[in-house]
Structure 1
């Protein structure tokens, strides 16, 4: 005989996990409806799905994913593959993806490709036999290979624009354009763009935006390549930036910008008095010292939307070539200011550092 529920713990008497039958009885629906609320919510009315899941959560019920996979071939699991889990851009994206998956009764497995196209290829091949679909963020693989993987399992891209493959794109180029306009209005005439990975779609969009607006405003642009989009790579870029004699730097992302701030500080270069710095993504910008001016991107929303598109595909919706674009905007903080006005007369700290370094090297 079934005992009463324990209330706060949401378990049946004796700590037993409630059954699908008990959830169905409590919600006033059939067991099939409970199952569909977690596996095929698109087949039910939204209010029914909401009621069933609310009752299930209150009772402490979770679907038996293994049993369902054996009987239906559906694993209720999706994969999220990112190029670098340590990059601050991706945790908000992962959280948004996880929340959207949770709401639909799916689990998420994570793959980190370590910025390697070959590693991405291996991960997607493995996941093809283990998950129902994949969200592939900032892929570094060639387009043709991405399309091949999309024929094996439903696949949604984040920040890679490949026609024929569903994708969610963050238009960081618009924010980058605002950044260059902002620097031009502050009187800067020579700036640097610190570039991200060459195979990154986002990097290509950002670099083109910087060059386009700089040309329209009559600014000079030096390009410095970061070895990876990391804090350490940003520090490594500092000497090249100082040698380029720029008064402003636009970095590929916040992690690189953080490293640049640290490198400039170590060199005795004042931000923004001597050099202004702009980051991109705005995921850690308000925690830097000083707070970083950055292009703000709706990263979490991108992860959530990508999973929602993937779930629509799994529900047999025809979204083969859907393309969602999310806007970005510049958030001005303390790392940008007017261009140094005394540069020609006596030189900035950056000039003096570069000149002293050249003398010490005997050049």
Structure 2
């Protein structure tokens, strides 16, 4: 029988022609071999090897109902916070035989939902880091798509929660111990679930500790927003501030230097996440250290348990802690 040209990619039809069986039989033999008798299966495997046939994701999906791909959605792929999420997820996905499908939702809840629905045939399940969807829309998706949310707690949605609110309490206790009595919070995006939880904890802890607090923002969680955030904090009269994330805090440090505000002599600055580079800036950033890569690994293990039909944890809480560096210190005149 004719052999396909070497430059052509072998297809199921080529393997079927070589072995004299139906295309559907070839598909079953390569994707669900237990449904084909041993002799036929061996003949098909040998022909596939001779022809250099390799099934693509679409073919696997048609034959087995599985793509062996996991959608990994992040709200800003340029944010170093997500680097460790991606790395941790890949550490679990690779050995399990899955490939990550990385999607940047650009801080948009509309784009996030559209990607999940439009690409549904391309992935078996999804991990959503820092979802911007409302609780209702996220819960609706979880009823139709196997998924795990990172940094989000929504009823009916399996989640990995990085407990930064507990870190916020540590921040205020640290600042109060240095004599600070007026502290500002530079808020993140209004659609960010962790942002509101941090602010609520910030307020509750301030009442317990007798601290006057103010809120500025919202700001996009990017270094470029740091100048506006720094200027707003100066106007509050606060002697210390907590930024929504490290990128915003690092941008604030640059602006304070431009304006001649000495950190921490005039004003203490604290970030959140402890991303790569937080200890390289000037001064090195005091921040809430989060187990980011671990969150990626745990989310994958929870999702794979769902896909396997076994028992899966509905929620996992990962603790955080405060890492003290040179950007925080005694209050002015303290």
TM-score surpassing 0.5?
yes
Match of 1:325 in 2: 317
Name the CA distance, whole Å, in 1 between partners of 2:146 and 2:119: 11
> 2:89 matched to 1:100?
no
| SS state at 1:268 partner | coil
Contact persistence 1:235–1:259 (CA under 8 A): yes
Which residue of structure 2 lines up, in the alignment, with residue 48 of structure 1?
Answer: none
Which runs of 5 or more structure 1 residues have no equivalent in the other structure? 1-33, 37-62, 343-363
Q: How does 1:106-117 map to 2 (within 5 A)?
A: 106-117=98-109
Which residue number corresponds to residue 25 of structure 2? Answer: none
SS of aligned partner of 1:94: helix
Tell me if 1:292 matches 2:285.
Answer: yes
How many aligned residue pairs are there? 283
Which of 157, 166, 187 lines up with 2:149 in the alignment? 157
1:68, CA displacement in angstroms? 3.2
Q: Distance in 2 between matches of 1:216 and 1:233?
A: 31
Match of 2:73 among 59, 69, 81: 81
The one-character-per-residue Cα deviations of 1:35-65 (angstroms, maximum 9, x if unpaired) are 89xxxxxxxxxxxxxxxxxxxxxxxxxx855
Q: Distance in 1 between matches of 2:290 and 2:145?
A: 28
Partner in structure 1 of residue 257 of structure 2:
265
1:65–1:75 CA contact under 8 A, matched in 2: no
Mark the CA change 1:204 to 1:141 in structure 2 (over 3 Å): closer, same or farther: same
1:300 and 1:261 mapped to 2: Cα distance? 26
Aligned pairs for 1:191-202 within 5 A: 191-202=183-194
Contact 1:226/1:234 (CA < 8 Å) preserved in 2?
Answer: no
Alpha-carbon displacement from aligned partner over 1:287-340 (angstroms, at most 9, x marks no partner): 211110000000110011101110000100133x61100000000000001001
Cα distance between partner residues in 1 of 2:138 and 2:147: 9
Residues in 2 aligned to 1:86 and 1:312: alpha-carbon distance in whole angstroms: 30
Gap runs ≥5 in structure 2: 1-29, 33-53
1:230 positional shift: 0.8
Of residues 235, 254, 263 in structure 2, which corresponds to 1:243?
A: 235
Partners of 2:122 and 2:60 in 1: how far apart?
14
CA distance in 1, matches of 2:147, 2:252: 36
Q: Which residue of 2 aligns with 1:18?
A: none
Give the Cα separation in 2 of the matches to 1:291 and 1:35: 53
How far apart, in 2, do the equivalents of 1:159 and 1:243 lie? 31
- Secondary structure at the counterpart of residue 153 of structure 1: coil
Superposed displacement of residue 144, structure 1: 1.5
CA contact (8 A) 1:191 1:219 kept: yes
Q: Take 1:216 and 1:65, find their aligned partners in 2: how far apart are those partners?
A: 59
Aligned to 2:3: none
1:173 aligns to 2:165 (yes or no): yes
Distance 1:318 1:92 in 2: 26
Alignment partner of 2:279: what SS?
Answer: helix
3-state SS in 2 of match to 1:237: helix
Question: Are the equivalent residues in 2 in contact too, given 1:296–1:328 (CA < 8 A)?
Answer: yes
1:334 matches 2:326: yes
Cα distance in 2 for partners of 1:95, 1:64 equals: 26
1:312 aligns with 2:301: no
Confirm or deny: 8 A CA contact 2:132 2:191 kept in the other structure. Answer: yes
**1:224, 1:96 → 2: CA distance?**
33
2-structure distance, mates of 1:312, 1:69: 19
271-280 vs 83-92, greater mean Cα deviation: 83-92
Q: Say which is worse superposed, 284-293 or 173-182, in terms of deviation.
A: 284-293
Partner in structure 1 of residue 39 of structure 2: none
Q: What SS does structure 1 have at the residue aligned with 2:122?
A: coil
CA offsets, 1:208-235, max 9 Å, x none? 1211111111111010114211111111
SS at match of 2:282: coil
